[in-house]
């Protein structure tokens, strides 16, 4: 798949503001500062489509981008650490869980994990939540240009063991580096296959 057209559609602070219809949605989520906005911009060939920031917690709403006039790429708020007050943090954390558990047009969730650091409990807890809710998901390992393959292998194995212990199945892992522009074709091909199902 090639993204020929990617436009910002809407930013929603609650579920009622989301568009109606049957257009499929693919959501990207992860801890704050995992590189989500940079990945979205790389996939869409637009450096300024999703707002990037060195300050964790920049995304606090559900942002939809209309791709090739066929599907929505959904940018969810980061979970975990964010420099906002507790009430604001609780609000957009519940927004994430409401969206992924109730949104009927959601086809798949991509959990972004940082390839530079060991497995984080909060990432695995979020994956456990998706398993419990029976929501299809995959992992995208980001910033692989700054990581050793041996470290990425250990990170992937930890998550594989965790998911297997929950439901007896494995999970898909995709690797990317926005800085090195790697992984784009793999991720878009993965989405294209799901759209054709």
Range of the domain at 145: 6-195
Tens of pLDDT, residues 72-95: 999 998 876 445 455 544 554 788
Q: How many domains does the chain have?
A: 1
What SS3 class is residue 133?
coil
Q: Is the pLDDT of residue 43 over 80?
A: yes
By C-alpha distance, which of 57, 55, 51, 109 is closest to 80? 57
Q: Is residue 98 part of a domain?
A: yes
Q: Which residues pair with 139 in a beta bridge?
A: 111, 173
Q: What is the pLDDT of residue 61?
A: 86
Q: What is the pLDDT of residue 48?
A: 83
Tens of pLDDT, residues 101-140: 999 999 999 999 999 998 888 888 888 889 988 999 999 9
pTM of the full structure: 0.90
Q: Is residue 97 part of a domain?
A: yes
Q: Is residue 45 part of a domain?
A: yes
Q: What is the pLDDT of residue 56?
A: 47
């Amino acid at each position: 798949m090639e993204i020929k057209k990617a436009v910002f559609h809407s930013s929603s602070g609650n579920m009622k503001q989301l568009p109606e219809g049957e257009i499929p949605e693919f959501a990207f989520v992860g801890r704050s500062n995992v590189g989500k906005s940079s990945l979205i911009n790389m996939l869409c060939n637009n450096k300024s489509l999703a707002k990037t920031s060195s300050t964790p917690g920049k995304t606090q709403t559900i942002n939809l981008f209309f791709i090739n006039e066929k599907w929505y790429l959904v940018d969810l708020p980061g979970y975990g650490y964010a420099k906002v007050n507790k009430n604001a943090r609780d609000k957009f954390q519940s927004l994430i869980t409401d969206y992924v558990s109730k949104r009927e047009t959601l086809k798949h969730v991509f959990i972004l994990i940082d390839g530079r650091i060991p497995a984080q409990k909060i990432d695995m807890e979020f994956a456990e939540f998706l398993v419990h809710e029976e929501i299809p998901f995959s992992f995208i390992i980001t910033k692989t240009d700054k990581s050793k393959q041996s470290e990425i292998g250990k990170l992937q194995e930890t998550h594989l063991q965790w998911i297997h212990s929950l439901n007896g199945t494995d999970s898909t892992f995709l690797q990317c580096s926005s800085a090195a522009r790697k992984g784009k074709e793999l991720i878009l091909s993965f989405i294209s296959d799901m759209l054709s199902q």
